[in-house]
Structure formats: structure tokens, C-alpha cells
Amino acid sequence: MLVNNQNYRTVWMQDKYVYLINQQLLPHKFGIYKSKDYIETANAIKTMIVRGAPAIGATGAYGVAQAALEFKGNNFEKFKKQIEKAEKTLKSTRPTANDLFYAIDFVKNKIMQNITIENAKKDSVKYANEYADWNVELCRKIGEHGNKLINQNQNILTHCNAGALACVDFGTALAPIRISHYNKKNLFVYVDETRPRNQGASLTAWELAQEKIPHAIIADNAAGFFMKKGKIDMIIVGADRIAMNGDVANKIGTYEKAVLAKENNLPFYVAAPLSTFDINSKTGEDIPIEERSSDEILYISGIDKNKKIRKIRIAPEESSAKNPAFDVTPAKYVSGIITERGIIKPMKDDIEKFVKGK
């Protein structure tokens, strides 16, 4: 993605360091977080310096590479133990996004095929980079397939951030929007603010502004108002995990947008790479939902007049809060899933055909 005329990925690795666009600071400051080891990388995923399913996947892959490079000695059994320890730490950061598990397994399985530690170390970086490059390509293809669904002069609603920041580059839900914009389609994007962490208001809006794509942020509870008024033509969201029956886990609030879309006869598309499908989740009931700190509900953070980032409490001291980070949209509300291999109907047989062929 272009930031101040310079091309950036959300995550990359150089020497033993993992670099991340620090998403805790956006949109107020653009900064790069430098992680020196896999523990710091795991912590960056947990604290959402990096977030979004494919982005945490690639970060997890680089975390495995760091764990390999950090190893000292020549005992392969001990090396294996170090990788397994890192795998456990990295996988325990966030439970819902399938890509995190997929990417970590991808790199781990590749390096374990080696018989020397030296080769395993080299392969760890090679395959983590391969994973990241592959994700960029998948997102481009998702963009091309999704572009065909978007007509001239359309108004599109999106929820949370499924843009370049949520991936390695380009995005999933924002990829068709980007390609349509590059193809000179006149679009307008309604951006759900996406409480409690406001990924829409702070990240999606920032990305769209960088690309000069016309947009407006709306309160989460305004989506129905705009749909009913005929101001929205379609909805495109990303996904954290998709079950084999087409149920989709995505940022909390996605489900109610899907129900509203059906009520208003609007197409509701999910954009995601095939690595988001979980062959072990038969239905959405099998998808683990992350519960995050109640502070995310009770406090809000932003920048004050003196350009200081502040966190302030918005609820009574006596009140508690509940904060599930994701919800599951039943397949019946999904018009189609835009993948790198085309658009899939959210039905078991279609999904199996695509996913097993990946």
C-alpha cells in the first residue's frame, strides 16, 4: 500500500526482525513496530499492533522463522522443541482467525522436512516470505473476481477493516473496491465505525483516504437506516474463519448487517482466501469466538487537541461489559464468498469442491 508515496506491506521481515505497521497508532500517527524475537511478535498479535486474519497469519509465519533463527546449538530434537514452543505461544494469541493457524502450520511443516538446523533456519525465512507473497497474490485475485460484481456508481457498505492493513497488502473486502476504483468506477463506500475498537473509523477510512476513494464513516447502528433509504447497493465484508457449511465468523456486528441486507434485498458478499475455510469446523457452532477485555467497551481512545493519544472512560465505574470480538453469520444470509478461485456459493458441496482442490 502507498503511504506518503512509499510502498509498504503491513508486515515484513529483515534479518531477525519482524516489522509491522503499528495499527494501534493509526490514523493519528504512522509508525513501524520492530519486533526482535518471536515472543515480542506474539505479543504484537495479542495487543493488536497487527490485526486482521491474513495479517496475523503472515506475522505468525514470521514468528516461527524468528524462533528458528533464535535457536543456538546443533541438537535437532532441541530445535524441534523450540519450534513447538513458539508454535504454541503464537497460536495462543488469538483464537478465531483460521489464517493464523494455517500460516504457522505451513512454515512449521516445511522446515521440519529438513535434516539440518542450518537448512531449516534458511527455509523458515524462505517459506514465511513465500506465505506473505502468496497472500498478496490471493488478495489481488479476490479483487479481480469481486470487481466483476461491482457496477458503475455503486454504494458499498463494509464492516471492520478487511483492507491492506488486515492482510499483507491489498486486502480482501477492500480489494474489489480498490480494483473497481482503479478501473475508474465511480464508487462510494459506507464505512461502519465498528465498535468497540473502531477498525472501520480508524483503519478502513484511513486506507480509503490514502487511495482517495470517496467514503463516509457511519455509526454502527446507522447501517439499517441507509439500507432502507436505498443508499446502499451491496455489502462486502471479510472473514476470520468460514465453516464448511458456509457460516462466516467475522468482526462482531457482521451478523446484524447480513440480516439487515436480507431484509432490504441487498447482496451480502464475503471476501476471503481459501485459507480462511476451516475443514474442522462443520458449522459456525464449531468456531471459537474470542472474548476480549471489557476495557474496550468501557473506554474509548482517540487523539486530543494537543495531539496526545488518550484513553477515556465512557461508562459508569460500577458497570461491567461483555465483549465478544466476532460473531457468526449463518450461510443463508451470504450471497457468495469471493475467493482467489472465483465466487463460491455458501453451500457444503461447493465449498468442499473448492477447498479440497486448494
- Give the active site residues: 240
Are 277 and 240 contacting, i.e. CB atoms less than 8 angstroms apart?
no
- Residue holding cell 512509499? 6
143 binds ligand MRU (CB under 6 A): no
60 binds ligand MRU (CB under 6 A): no
Q: Quote the Cα angle for 229-333-201, to 5°.
A: 55
200 binds ligand MRU (CB under 6 A): no
Question: What is the phi/psi pair of residue 50, to 5°?
Answer: -120, 140
Cα separation, 346 vs 333, in Å, equals: 9
Q: Quote the Cα angle for 66-46-315, to 5°.
A: 165
Select the residue interacting with ligand MRU from 35, 98, 198, 199 (CB under 6 A): 199
Query: Residue 320: which residues within 8 A CB-CB, separation 6 or more?
Result: 294
Per-residue binding string, ligand MRU, 280-319, x by CB under 6 A, is ----------------------------------------
Which region among 148-156, 161-169, 277-285, 346-354 touches ligand MRU (by CB under 6 A)?
161-169
**Nearest residue to the partner ligand MRU, using Cβ:** 238
Hey, is 28 helix, strand or coil? coil
Select the residue interacting with ligand MRU from 1, 111, 162, 234 (CB under 6 A): 162
| Alpha-carbon torsion, ordered 137, 205, 239, 184, to 10 deg | -50
Return the C-alpha cell found at 278. Answer: 476451516
Select the residue interacting with ligand MRU from 167, 218, 236, 344 (CB under 6 A): 167
Q: Which is nearer to ligand MRU, 97 or 132 (CB)?
A: 97
Are 289 and 325 contacting, i.e. CB atoms less than 8 angstroms apart?
yes
Could you say which residues in the range 319-348 bind ligand MRU, by CB under 6 A? 325
208 binds ligand MRU (CB under 6 A): no
Per-residue binding string, ligand MRU, 221-240, x by CB under 6 A, is -----------------xxx
Cα separation, 191 vs 142, in Å, equals: 20
Select the residue interacting with ligand MRU from 172, 204, 281, 329 (CB under 6 A): 172
Select the residue interacting with ligand MRU from 10, 13, 54, 243 (CB under 6 A): 54
Q: Which is nearer to ligand MRU, 83 or 273 (CB)?
A: 273
Could you say which residues in the range 74-103 bind ligand MRU, by CB under 6 A? 97
- The greatest distance separating any two alpha carbons of the chain, rounded to the nearest whole angstrom, comes to 67
Are 77 and 124 contacting, i.e. CB atoms less than 8 angstroms apart?
no
Question: What single DSSP character describes residue 150?
Answer: P
Select the residue interacting with ligand MRU from 10, 66, 250, 275 (CB under 6 A): 250
Report in angstroms how near the CB of residue 357 gets to ligand MRU at its nearest.
22
Beta-strand pair 342-344/336-339:
antiparallel
Using CB under 6 A, list all residues that contact ligand MRU: 51-54, 97, 160, 162, 166-167, 172, 199, 238-240, 250-251, 325
